[in-house]
Amino acid sequence: MSTDRRPLAVLVSSTFAFTICFAIWMMFAVLGIPIKTSLGLNETEFGLLVATPVLSGALVRVPLGIWTDRYGGRIVFFTLMLACALPIWMISHATAYWHFLVLGLFVGLAGGSFSVGTPYVARWFGKERRGLAMGVFGAGNSGSALTKFVAPAIIAALGWQALPKVYAAVMVATALLFWFGTYSDPSHKSASGESFAAQMRVLKDPRVWRYCQYYSVVFGGYVALALWMTKYYVGEYGFGLKQAALLAACFSLPGGVLRALGGWISDKFGAYKVTWYVMWVCWVCFFILSYPQTTMSVKTVSSSMDLHIGLGPVTFTLLLFVVGVAMAIGKASVFRFIADDFSDNIGAVSGVVGLAGGLGGFILPIMFGAIVDLTGIRSSSFMLLYGTVCVSLVWMHFSFKPQTRAAVAAPAHSSTKPLRKAA
């Protein structure tokens, strides 16, 4: 009996398509820098520019997830990619700030591909391999790093207007490759008879809101930093665009590729334990990254001594790399929660949780820019992220505390029961 190769084909094709979609979704992380210079934008305006595609990509995740449940992931994914090609091309002809914002909303639809691919891939695999499969698909987040490698070279060689044209052509080619490399299974349309209201009843479950909070940190924070770090390196350390993008990729690349590792670890150790340790790693790193460049004058016996405290680019990049690894694992562990708890409604729940993560990725860059404009301290962005992790840790502690007590009490109860019977 021959082995069914369709699940592997679906996983490979979907992961590649999602990588390209994510690269295009993050294009303003690099493209926005020459646009900022050309239009004379301030930090808040730049934050809005890079975050606008994230907004539409977040808002469309819920309906896309539901349509995937209803119509199947293959047709929805293919149609979505084709629909994004024209707005991407039109960016090369934009001249005013509002042009970029409006087109950015349409380009951002590519970011909704995650809520299509996740349920589409998950239903091709059994529960014992589902976490790993979803992690491999989620590794398409590495498209953020791909943009940082490719976009600066295209801009340097051909000008920034050439980048949208290249990306539009790549999107069309990817859509065709996806269509001819994937399959459909009618049995995967598990929610074909349910109304939108019926599928949205899942919002009454408090677990969904917990997972939204966790994902807004590990994915929303990842997207925000992926959009912000190229510019951060340019402003904080004075690097050129190419070098800054390369260093920013030290965060984006592990933050995407290692999501597959996070899926495997979640399968092995459980979603709760993995997510808990991820949050603690982020908490420590953000605390250190929050410290601004500081110069102090210490009065000595005979004179004064000047001290400088701050992170150099090497230490900063190493810490950022650790955060990228932690977020990659955390993104996979959160979706392992969803696969375990909502296996019959993955599309709708992943859409809602993905929406929360995307909104985090939209709001945070704007807040980064506003705080920098207000305080003048670039590291204030990490102060904000540190606060979001604190909220997640507290919420997670109190949410799972009753379950932990019950798990501890159960073995003790079972061990004493035979003694009573013997007596």
Domain assignment present for 422: no
Three-state DSSP class for residue 304: strand
Is residue 138 exposed (0-12), middle (13-18) or buried (19+ Cβ within 10 Å)?
buried
pTM of the entire predicted model: 0.72
Digitized pLDDT (tens) for each residue of the chain, 423 residues in all: 447 788 889 999 999 999 999 899 889 988 988 998 889 888 888 888 988 898 888 888 878 877 887 888 899 999 999 999 999 999 999 999 999 999 999 999 998 888 888 888 888 887 777 767 877 887 787 888 888 889 888 998 888 999 999 999 999 999 999 999 888 877 666 544 556 566 666 667 778 888 888 888 888 888 888 888 888 898 888 888 888 888 888 888 887 777 778 777 887 888 788 888 998 999 999 999 998 888 888 888 888 888 888 888 999 999 999 998 999 888 888 877 777 777 666 667 777 887 788 888 888 888 888 888 888 888 888 999 998 888 888 887 777 655 554 444 444 444 445 544 433
- Integer Cα distance of 92 and 22 in angstroms: 19
- Integer Cα distance of 216 and 57 in angstroms: 14
Query: How many domains does the chain fold into?
Result: 1
- Integer Cα distance of 204 and 194 in angstroms: 17
Domain assignment present for 364: yes
Domain assignment present for 302: no
Three-state DSSP class for residue 32: helix
Rg (CA), the chain: 23
Domain assignment present for 409: no
Domain assignment present for 84: yes
Domain assignment present for 414: no
Q: Which domain holds residue 344?
A: 6-296+307-400
- What pLDDT shows up at residue 189? 66
Side chain identity at residue 168, one-letter code: A
Cα→Cα distances 35→40, 47, 196, 283, 401, Å? 8, 12, 40, 34, 49
Torsion of CA 153, 15, 53, 56, to 10 degrees: 170
- What pLDDT shows up at residue 423? 32
Domain assignment present for 406: no
User: How many other CB atoms are there within 10 angstroms of residue 265's CB atom?
Assistant: 23
> Would the CA dihedral through 321, 325, 328, 334 be positive or negative?
negative
- What pLDDT shows up at residue 240? 86
- What pLDDT shows up at residue 175? 95
In angstroms, how far is CA 59 from the centroid of its own chain? 14
Q: Write the CATH number for 168.
A: 1.20.1250.20
Domain assignment present for 301: no
Torsion of CA 34, 38, 42, 43, to 10 degrees: -10
Of 113, 110, 104, the residue nearest 68 (C-alpha): 113
- What pLDDT shows up at residue 287? 93
